[in-house]
Each structure stands twice: as structure tokens, then as C-alpha cells.
Structure 1
């Protein structure tokens, strides 16, 4: 016997120690191990993500038990079947008297619903157990209407026109368990009307006009009351419940007119099981208002205009199992707020980001914002892989262009400066994606334990700053370059081409403007709140909370500034294309078809990429502001795929596909030993062909000249144009054609003078190698 007691003590101690370990691991994290919750009373622990996932992981199946939220229902009501099976009880009637126009079924049930009754029928059998009088025209219930109905257990008087209940009207219904008085016109509850309802467990008074209670002891008349539903009435306070220490019901006061709760209104309801105060007008709870509700199992304070939740608001609620905080955006949400709720199993927020404050809760809703889940910063495998692919493509492409532009010879310095800055801006977007991918890897399978710390950290603020800086600087650079290109094409001989110094000043202004736009939310936390930390990817589109802190600024940047820039870019390229088409038609170039097709494709892809980025973002942001629900997964795809489109494709559009880069690549190939012999023989053959064909062309240069402009061609020893004469300025179409006929143009210039040769930056004069570079850069 002694040995048996000793073994029992050892087993008990081991089990207790295991449970304590499980409880500890549920609230802490070591080596990025996900929070572990116990398997009922066993020594096993299972990660929270495996609870209620429709797969049994605990050996006793406890991880899939009690997944539904039935908190707040008293034990006496949990076993009551809400729907009786039709085959459990015979449908025939055993009552001797049934009122006319009424029906009888299930032995002792009478149904008189929806038949236009104005009074309670007089000939109701005393054996009746359920009486349905809903959806009639009953205004008054006489005092003796239910006399003798001692067997009645359920009474339905919903959807009538009752305005008052006479004292003692239910006094003979000593066995009544359910009383439904929903959708009537009751204004005042008379305490004496409920005298004698000693067995009542469920009282429904929804959708009336109740604003007060007359008399005392109303709840003492119903000592077994388990559920009291006063939803959608006109109650302005909870004073009617003061002094009822034995009130053990679940109280629903949803959608009333309560603005202020007295600090003692709930102090004596120590046996209260559930409290629903949702959809009222409560702006603040007094200190310690819930402190004495030690038996409370359910609390719903959702959709109240609460801005602040006191740090000790939930102290004393040791048995609370379900907490609903939907519709509440409190700026002081913290871990301390939920620390006393050690038995909390279900918690409800409007935003997934708040779940990080309650890491020990078994079920938190919503369990994802489309971007992140409890386990991972990026919700699914495709996102986790895609962020690395897009980041690497963006970084490699932009780095290659920056290196290539730095080592290229005979490069237009102004144009190259703008392209390098564009690549630098796009490279920052790649760095932003790399940070997000790295954090997702670091927090893999344990994100919920780090989510709030990450979103409130300096690292998230810096990451969000980099993402927004890249987006805005890229937009401003593309806008300026598009306008400059438009002026170059439409007014090719203007005298205001920026030099390197002026271009540097313009770039400094653009970068400072982008930095100011990105830094403003950090410099004013009082207005912006946690502007960058509203989600795990730290980018402030704010689709999930479109009217949160700083929403006006977010709308101004992403709907105003960026959308206007997109329109300017679109108009600039449309104007360029129209101008070039007119010039082509006026001079009748034989190369217009092929060159127009090439240039049209280029215009199309430049405008398309800009539109694919900012047009969807503008539309979705506008829809979110109008209240259209935006799925969280769409937010993730926008940040990972749509937003970096420009950053990934800009190197291809603006550099890697230009003639300069392709020629450089061709030169590298030509210099390779394996190709040297073949290229030499090809050049000899080409020289023989040119000897017979000649090299005088009269139409090539016309593609880059505007005949209505007056200009002079400068004689230079470095020019690739050989001039037979340089005379008076050219001022008309006829003189232009005559002048062009005297110019001998090498074959290389003739072949490059197509629509593909529209300069990125305008050229003031057609001279030297700089002019040829300008023609190739578009």
C-alpha cells in the first residue's frame, strides 16, 4: 500500500510538471518553437496551429474537441436540444380540446401562429406543453389567459402587438421554461408580471421598445433564469440589475442606447455567466467595472466607439473563455491587457494584427490577414517563394544596369545619370523585398510570437520607409523622364537641354521629395500612429483598415500623387507617338512601317507596366475607402507582385533592350576568339557589296529633322555626317529636302535613323558621337 501511494505521488508530480511546462511554453518562445498548448489533461503538448485544424494530433483527440464557441451558456442549458428530431416523438395529438383554426402535433403541442388572432384562445387544454401564438394581432394578454396551464413549458408570443404585461399574467405557469416575447411593442417591464415563473430558464425580449423596469424583485421571480435577451431595445443604463447577487444568467443587451455604465452597475453580479454589450454607444468603461465578475465565461463589447482600453480592464476575469472585441481600434492594445485571461480560448478582433497580443489563446479570429498567419509572416508557399524570385530579379537586373552604365564609353552623361538613379531607386525595392523574405524565414512557424514586436520595431519602420521611398522616387523619376522625352520629341531643337549640373540638382530634389513623403509618417506618430506597422510587410497601403490613423495621407500618396503621375506618363507617351507619326507621314520615310512597329511596342510596354502598377492600386484603394471589403490575400499579391513590377522591368525597358546595350554585347561577342575569323570574312564580303551599292542616302536623316524648324548644321571634324556645303539656315520643307540631298550619310547612320532612335534626352545639335548615342537611347 505504501509503494502504491508513492507511485501515485510520483505520477502526479510528473504530470503536474509536464502540464506546467506546456503552460509555460504556451506563453514563451525558445529557439523559435511555436507556442504549445496541452492536450487536455495529458502530458502532451501540440502547437496551436494544429488545434482545431480537422486533424487529430493529440493521442486523446483533445486538440479537435470544443472547437466551437458555446461560452456563456449556463450548465443547466447546455443539454437542452434546440431542435427536436421529428421521429423521436409521435406527431399525432392526444389533447381532448384544441382551439379552432389551431393545429396539434407531437402529442401535446398546439400551434396557432399566423392566423390573425386578437386574443388568447379560451379553450386551451390544460395538458398542453408547448403553445405557439406568434405572428398574430394580440395587443393585450388578459390576467386569466393562462390559468391552469401548469404543464406548459414553452410559450411563444413573438411578432404580436403587445404593449404591456399585466401583473400576475404568468402566475400559473410554474413549469414554464421558455418565454418568447420578441418583436412586440413593450415599453416598460412590470416586475409583478413575471411573478410565479420559478422554472423559467430562457426569456427573450428582443426587438421591443423597453427602456425601464417598474417595481422591484423582477429577477428574484425567476431564480432559474439562464438566458435573458434584451437585444435591440431602448435601454440607456444597467441600473435594473443592481442588487441581484444571485443573477446567474447570460445577459444580452446588444444594440441598445447605453452610453455610460456606472462603476457599480455590475459589481454585485458575481454569478453572471455571460455579458453582451455590443453595438451600444459606450466610449469608455470605468475602472474595475468587470473586476467582480469572477464567474463570467463570455464577454462581448464589440462595435462600441471605444478608443482606449484600460490596461487592467479585464483583471478579475479568471474564468473568461470567450472575448469579442470586433470593431474596436484601440491604440493602446497590449500584452498586459490579456495577461489575466488564463482560460481564454476564443478571441475575436476585426484585424489579424491584434492576435499578436494574445499568443496563448487557442482560437483567434481572424486567423490571417491574407498576408500573414499565426505561423508565418507570408501566408502561403507561393508568396514565400515569389518574394525571393522577385527580389533577386530586381536586384540583379538593376545592379547590372548600374555597372554597365558606369563602364560604357561615349555615353550621354545626363541620360546615363538619370538611368542610374532610376536603377538605384528600383534596387531599394529589391532590398525591401529581401528584408521581408528574410524576416519570413526567421519567424517561420512561430510568427505569432514575434508579430507584434516586429511590427512595432524600428526595423519594420525602416523597411516600410525603404519600400515607400523606392516607390515614390521611381514614380517621380519616370514622370520627369517621360516629360523630358516628350519635350525632346515634340520640340527637338529647343535650347533648354539640362546639363550634368542641372540634372544633378533635379535628381537631388526628386530624392529629397521621396524621402520627405516617406519620412513624414515617422516624424508625426501622434497623427499617423503605427503607419508602417499595420501589417507584417510594413507597407502602408492600409487596405484592411482604410480609415485608420493617417488614412488621408495614404490616400493622397497612392490615389492622388501616383495616379496623377501615371496619367502624365500616359499623356506624354501618347503625345510622342502622335508627333512621330505626323512627322513620318509628312516626309514619307520608306522605313516607317518597321520602325513604327518597333517604337509602338516599346511605347506600349512602358505605358503598360506603369498602368499595371498604379491603376489597380488606385482602384482597389478607392474601393476600400468606399467600404468594399478587400481580401487580405489581394493585399499580399499587390505588395509582392504588382508593386515591384516597375522595379523589375525598368532595367529591361530602359537599358538592357536599347541599341547601346545590344551593341556593347555584340562587341563583346565579336572580340571572342571563336567568332573573330567568321566576323573578318563577313566584313570583307560586306565591303565588296558596298563598293557596288554606294553610300549616298537622302532619306535617313529626314526621320530626325523637323522641316518647319530653322536650324544650322555645325561643321565639326568629329561628325559622322560629311557635308558638301554649309550655307544659310534651313526654314522650309523644300529647302530641307534640297539640303538633305547634299548630305552624304554613312550606312551605319542610315540604319539607325528609325523611330527606335528617338532620344531619351533632347539633342541640341546633330553632331559627333553624342548625337548617335542620343538617337539610340529610347
Structure 2
């Protein structure tokens, strides 16, 4: 059959090719061996095909390619996608189209494409690849790069236009042949150069982080040293623990800000290392502990105030939370918050894939794409927190109703007046926390329903909206208390 030009052997059960399988086919130009069970290629199995132009070995079980398997070919298109390759050997200089998507490539070392100046289309989608600065060196005529790795387009050859660095959401044919802009998306917060891509976000990150650190250190100093006579009350104990949890958010922001400076102008090729690093893991744990602990403590403060204000004359008031009980409850809540934050790192690595899906080391479920661990994050950040805030809202309504129905009769004693003042302050704390968590809950539900959230919204929620209450809380529940105390002295 020496005149065969086109040979399609796809979708069979071929598991091996002998050395002389293609002997006597000098005119063969198109060979399709896709969707078979080939695991090994012999070194000279293709040597008798001098004018082969199209070779499709996709969807097989190939793990290693012999060093000289392509050496005698002038092939133009090679498809090796959906195999188990981890190393790419030297390609024929004639290759114009190469597809190595959905393999096991972790990196493409500099020099891989030194012999591939004619390559014009390259697909590396579906590989967990590290972004390296000179990985595409030698691809001077590349026009299309298919990749779903964040920041890979940051190191694309200059010959690849921005609208021809594509991802896997939109079909390749549509992007290639239609007059449309199809661009692989990077991280929603980071840019090619910086961990925090927006200068405005970077400024707010430092402001919020600094205010959170200073404000909560001040609260702890005031509660432990100046106002220590009241540290035995349940309210003061919960507020002290709330300042400790908010302090963790300030530490988290300082870590992110510091590494933004560390990776300035070189972030793209350090993204994978950063998101899988121990520092990023610790930062994410601190952020999660702070967020959940703050929510738990606001719930406990609400319950404590409901007992005092709504049931002032009942037996429940006589059994309100004591100082020792408050410390035990706070310790238990710390254990719960730490467990919730550490579970993904210690016991669910298979689920979270060992790294965070954003450069700021948060796992908020606010994107439409199903990311590793998004189900767990949705259950904690959206479902659990929403349930807690419903209970808090009920408590606030009960206190408000009690104050309205009782009129002015409650101000008979100075203690009752202080309780009402604390209730008003608590309302402000709850309101600010609700304004921070409500958008997260809404966006999380919208994302889960398939709605696309703009990248700018996602970035502002993660860097500004989520941590801002950690900076505001100290001024609401302690700065106001200090001011009122001075007013009473005067």
C-alpha cells in the first residue's frame, strides 16, 4: 500500500508499534494514532516516514519519548496532548503546531525550544506548569499560545499578541479564526509584576493593616493594664479576645504587603512558589482564624447583651455569663476557629491541592469556576457565617424591641445606662461586620449559581471589604468607651 497518503488508526486498541509497522509507506503525510493504548514508542518507529506532515498521538498512555523518535521527520503538526509526558525532547525544526496539553509537565526549561523557530501555535493547557522568565526562548515566530496557567501570558514571546494568548474557556477554533479578543486570565488581584496589581489596593492594604495592628494593640493594652478592673466581666473578656482575633488580620495584611514588596516587578515567575509556600499557608490560616473568631465572638457578645437587656429581671439574668465561663467559651471558640482554618492544610490537602487559588492566600468561594476546596470554603464562609449572622440579627432585633417597648424606664440606674450604651456600640460593631460579610455571602451565592463576578469586585472584596472591620472595630468598642469614661470624669 505504498501510495497511502492519509492513514487514520484512531479509536482502536493498539498498545504497541513494532519497528517495521510503517515500512513501505514513503508517501504517508497524515498519521492519526489518537485514542489508543500506546505506552511506549520505539526509537526508530517513525524513521521510514520521510515526508510525514501530520502526527497525532493524543489520548494515549505515553510517559517517555525516545530521544531520536522525531529526528528523521519533517513533520509540521505534532499532537501529544492527553498523555503522561513530563519531559519534552528536542523537536524537528520544521514543526509549526505543537500540542502538549493535559500531560504532566511541571516546567519547560530554558532551551527547550532553541530548535523551534518555525513553531507558530503551541498549546500547554492542562499542565501544572511553573512560570519561568525564559521558558519560551527561541520561539521567535510563535503567534498563538494556549495556556490556562495564571501569569503564563506574562512571559509569552513578543510575537504573540495579547488577544492570541488564550485559555481553555473559549474554544480554540473560535478564538483562532474569529475576529474576537480571547485572552488567558491571570490572577484577579495580582499582575505580571506585582502581588498586588492595583496601586490603590496596595495603599488601602497598608492603611487597613497598620490601623488594625495599632488599634488592636491599643485595645489589648487598655483592657489589660488600664481598665483591668473590668476584665472580669464577660463583655470585656469577649472584647479582649475580639481584639486578639482582629490583630491576626493586621498581621496577615502586613505579611501580604511585605511579600508584595519582596516580589516587586518579578511576581509572575514566583507565583507558584509563593502560593504553595509555608508563609502563604500561615498567612491564609491567620486570616481564616481572624475572620471566623471575630464572627463567633460577636455572636457571644450579642448573646451576653441579650441576656442583660432583654431579660434584666428574670432568672436568666441571674445566670448570665460569668468571667470564668467567658474565658472557657473564648478558649473553645479559639479551638473551633483554628480547627476550621487548619483542616484544609493538615487533613484535606488532596481537596485543596496544596496551595491557595489567589495570590493573597485566601480561599474565598467568589468565582464561578470550581476551584479546589471551593465546596468547603462555601460551607464555611457563606453558609456557616450567614447562619451566625441570622442569629446575631435576631438578637439585635430583640434588644431593639426591648428598648422601644420599655421607653425611658430603663435609665433608672447607672448600670442599666451603661448596658444600653454598650448595646448601641455593639449594634455599630455588628453593622460594620455585616457590611463586610453580606457582600461576601451574596457574591458567593451568585458565583455558585453560575454568575460571573467582575475581577475588580473580587479584588476589592478580598483586599478591602473582608479585613476592614478588623481596623474599625477597635475604634467602635474601645475608643468610644475611653471617650465616654473621660466624659463621665469631667
Q: TM-score scaled by structure 2? A: 0.72
| CA displacement, residues 542-570 of structure 1 (integer Å, 9 cap, x when unaligned) | 54585333333222211222221122211
Paired residues of 1:426 and 1:647 also in contact (CA < 8 A): yes
2:469 aligns with 646
For residues 219 and 577 of structure 1, what CA distance do their matches in structure 2 show? 88
From the superposition, tell whether residues 576 and 275 of structure 1 become closer, same or farther in structure 2 (CA, over 3 Å).
Answer: farther
For residues 433 and 336 of structure 2, what CA distance do their matches in structure 1 show? 20
SS at match of 2:361: coil
| CA displacement, residues 446-489 of structure 1 (integer Å, 9 cap, x when unaligned) | 22243333222221111111111111111111112122222332
Equivalent of residue 260 in structure 1, options 46, 49, 60: 60
The aligned length equals 431
Q: Is 1:274 aligned with 2:77?
A: yes
Cα deviation for residue 361 of structure 1 reads: 5.6
Equivalent of residue 191 in structure 2, options 373, 380, 383: 373
Single out whichever of 449-458 and 563-572 deviates more from structure 2. Answer: 449-458
Equivalent of residue 630 in structure 1, options 453, 456, 467: 453
Q: Is 1:423 aligned with 2:423?
A: no
Equivalent of residue 263 in structure 2, options 443, 468, 477: 443
SS at match of 1:413: coil
Paired residues of 2:31 and 2:55 also in contact (CA < 8 A): yes
Cα deviation for residue 218 of structure 1 reads: 13
Cα deviation for residue 377 of structure 1 reads: 0.8
Cα deviation for residue 643 of structure 1 reads: 0.4
Q: Is 1:489 aligned with 2:309?
A: yes
Paired residues of 1:543 and 1:635 also in contact (CA < 8 A): yes
| CA displacement, residues 593-644 of structure 1 (integer Å, 9 cap, x when unaligned) | xx9x999976764443233222221232333334433344333211211101
SS at match of 1:352: coil
SS at match of 1:644: helix
| CA displacement, residues 354-377 of structure 1 (integer Å, 9 cap, x when unaligned) | 679xx6865676463121112111
1:466 aligns with 286
Cα deviation for residue 221 of structure 1 reads: 6.4
Paired residues of 2:90 and 2:115 also in contact (CA < 8 A): no
2:138 aligns with 343
SS at match of 2:122: strand
Paired residues of 1:296 and 1:317 also in contact (CA < 8 A): no
Equivalent of residue 577 in structure 1, options 400, 410, 418: 400
Paired residues of 1:374 and 1:447 also in contact (CA < 8 A): yes
From the superposition, tell whether residues 311 and 369 of structure 1 become closer, same or farther in structure 2 (CA, over 3 Å).
Answer: closer
Paired residues of 2:196 and 2:260 also in contact (CA < 8 A): yes
For residues 604 and 409 of structure 1, what CA distance do their matches in structure 2 show? 24
Paired residues of 1:290 and 1:316 also in contact (CA < 8 A): yes
Q: Which fold has the larger relative contact order, with Cα–Cα distance below 8 Å and residues 6 or more apart in sequence?
A: 2
Q: Is 1:523 aligned with 2:346?
A: yes
Paired residues of 1:464 and 1:532 also in contact (CA < 8 A): no
- Greater Cα radius of gyration, structure 1 or 2: 1
**Structure 2 unmatched ranges of 5 or more:** 13-21, 39-44, 167-183, 413-417
From the superposition, tell whether residues 545 and 235 of structure 1 become closer, same or farther in structure 2 (CA, over 3 Å).
Answer: same
Looking at secondary structure, tell me which structure has more helix per residue: 2
From the superposition, tell whether residues 313 and 376 of structure 1 become closer, same or farther in structure 2 (CA, over 3 Å).
Answer: closer
For residues 191 and 24 of structure 2, what CA distance do their matches in structure 1 show? 48
Paired residues of 1:323 and 1:344 also in contact (CA < 8 A): no
Equivalent of residue 480 in structure 1, options 291, 300, 303: 300
1:662 aligns with 483
**Structure 1 unmatched ranges of 5 or more:** 1-189, 196-209, 671-778
SS at match of 1:643: helix
| CA displacement, residues 562-599 of structure 1 (integer Å, 9 cap, x when unaligned) | 221122211211222123323339x6999xxxx9x999
For residues 460 and 352 of structure 1, what CA distance do their matches in structure 2 show? 17
For residues 468 and 273 of structure 1, what CA distance do their matches in structure 2 show? 51
